[in-house]
Amino acid sequence: MSTTVQRRVVGAIVAIVVVTTCIMLGRWQWHRHEDRAARVEQITQNYDRSPVPLSDLVSDPSGPLRADVAWRSVELRGQFGDPVVKIRNRPVDGQPGFHIAQPFFLADGPVVLVNRGFVRTENEDSLDLSIQSATDVELVAHLRPSEEPDARSAPVGQGFTFNPEQLLPGIDNLAANFYVIAESQTPPGPDQIVALPAPDTDLGSHFSYALQWWFFAGGAVVAFIILMRRENQHEGTQRPPKQRISSAEAEEDALIAAWEEEHQPQR
């Protein structure tokens, strides 16, 4: 195999690898865009709907939360209880602080884990939740599926994830597969607890990233074609030029040959 052919084979292999990789990365970003778009659509459809009783959306509190009711608004009536757990490492709008996780004992149902909202670090020492013990509360909150448990060891009274079974072990009749994010309550809670903002509905940059990867794939094909054409041009310049004989030279050679043949000595 000549050197030229070897270069072409290697170039083709490199181009195939680059194009395939770019296409796969583009598909990966596209699937991420589709997943994000589906989540945003569900938030848009469910978040601002009027609240309904929890039993209207969750018939079996011990079972998994239906995907179509995530972010729906529900009405709860009951009392907050112990323990109070601080969920760390969850800043809001760049502000350091923590979320308050607390069990809510429904008047006519199970115990539901509630994300009561955000407390800035600077307000931590002044927060007092004992004033609402044994107080009947009407709560409007949004349904969320339970988060995955976190294997890290947290200090007493703290946690890392909204997983009811991990945060509230030993509580009977606990709804283990979902929790709720408080939007408002009557009577109001402590001023230090700030309701969480609405979920982000920005689609992100996955779609543009997918287009970029597919553009790179097309660019790799074009680059390979250009390189092959230049290779052909370069090979053509390396070949020795063919000698061209002009018509005048050819006619002169024919006359000389005829004269030599005519005056050739007779044997």
Examine residue 59 and state whether it is found in any structural domain, yes or no: yes
Number of domains forming the structure of the chain: 2
Q: What is the pLDDT of residue 132?
A: 59
Which tokens hold the place of 265?
């000595």
**Do residues 218 and 229 both lie within one domain?**
yes
Residues 23 and 59 in one domain: no
- Whether residue 30 is found in the same domain as residue 87: no
The β-bridge partners of 101 are 85, 115
* Crossing angle between the packed helical segments 206-238 and 3-46, to the nearest 10 degrees: 170
Same domain, 84 and 167: yes
Torsion angle in degrees (nearest 10) through CA of 194, 198, 200, 201: -170
Q: How many residues does the chain have?
A: 267
Same domain, 41 and 65: no
Whole-number pLDDT of residue 117: 94
Read off the tokens for 224.
Answer: 């390979």
What is the token pair recorded at 23? 């296409």
> CA 16, CA 82: separation in Å to the nearest integer?
61
DSSP-based three-state secondary structure for 26 = helix
Q: Phi/psi at 226 (nearest 5 deg)?
A: -65, -45
Whether residues 109 and 154 share a domain: the answer is yes
- Quickly tell me which residue has 């978040």 as its tokens: 47
Is 215 among the domain residues? yes
User: In degrees, to the nearest 5, what angle opens at C-alpha 132 toward C-alphas 130 and 133?
Assistant: 70
Ramachandran sector of residue 170 (left: φ over 0; alpha: ψ -120 to 50; beta: rest): left
The answer to whether residue 154 is domain-embedded is yes
pTM of the model: 0.72
| Domain assignment of residue 179, yes or no | yes
Q: Are strands 52-53 and 174-186 parallel, antiparallel or unpaired?
A: unpaired
Is residue 249, in this structure, part of any structural domain at all?
Answer: no
Query: Is beta strand 158-159 parallel, antiparallel or unpaired with respect to 85-87?
Result: parallel
Same domain, residue pair 67 and 169: yes
> Is the domain of 34 the same as that of 109?
no
Domain of residue 169, CATH code: 2.40.50
Residues 6+ apart with CB under 8 A from 75: 51, 52, 53, 54, 138, 139, 140
Residue 109 and residue 17 share a domain: no
Alpha-carbon distance of 109 to 230, in angstroms, equals 77
Establish if 194 belongs to a structural domain. no
Tens of pLDDT along the chain (267 residues)? 567 677 778 888 888 999 999 999 999 999 999 998 888 888 889 999 999 999 999 988 888 899 999 999 999 999 999 899 999 888 888 889 999 999 999 988 899 999 999 999 888 888 877 655 667 899 999 999 999 999 888 888 899 999 999 999 989 899 999 999 999 999 888 889 999 998 887 888 898 999 999 999 998 888 888 888 877 776 666 555 555 555 666 677 677 776 666 666 655
In a domain, 226, yes or no: yes
Q: Which residue type does 184 have?
A: S
Q: What is the pLDDT of residues 215-238, one digit of tens each?
A: 999 988 888 888 888 777 766 665
* Residue numbers of the domain that contains 221: 1-47+201-237
The answer to whether position 267 is within a domain reads: no
Side chain identity, residue 31:
H
Judgement on whether residues 41 and 55 belong to the same structural domain of the protein: no
Q: Are residues 69 and 41 in the same domain?
A: no
In terms of domains, do 25 and 107 share one? no
Report the C-alpha gap between 141 and 120 in whole angstroms: 21
Structure tokens at 262: 């005519």
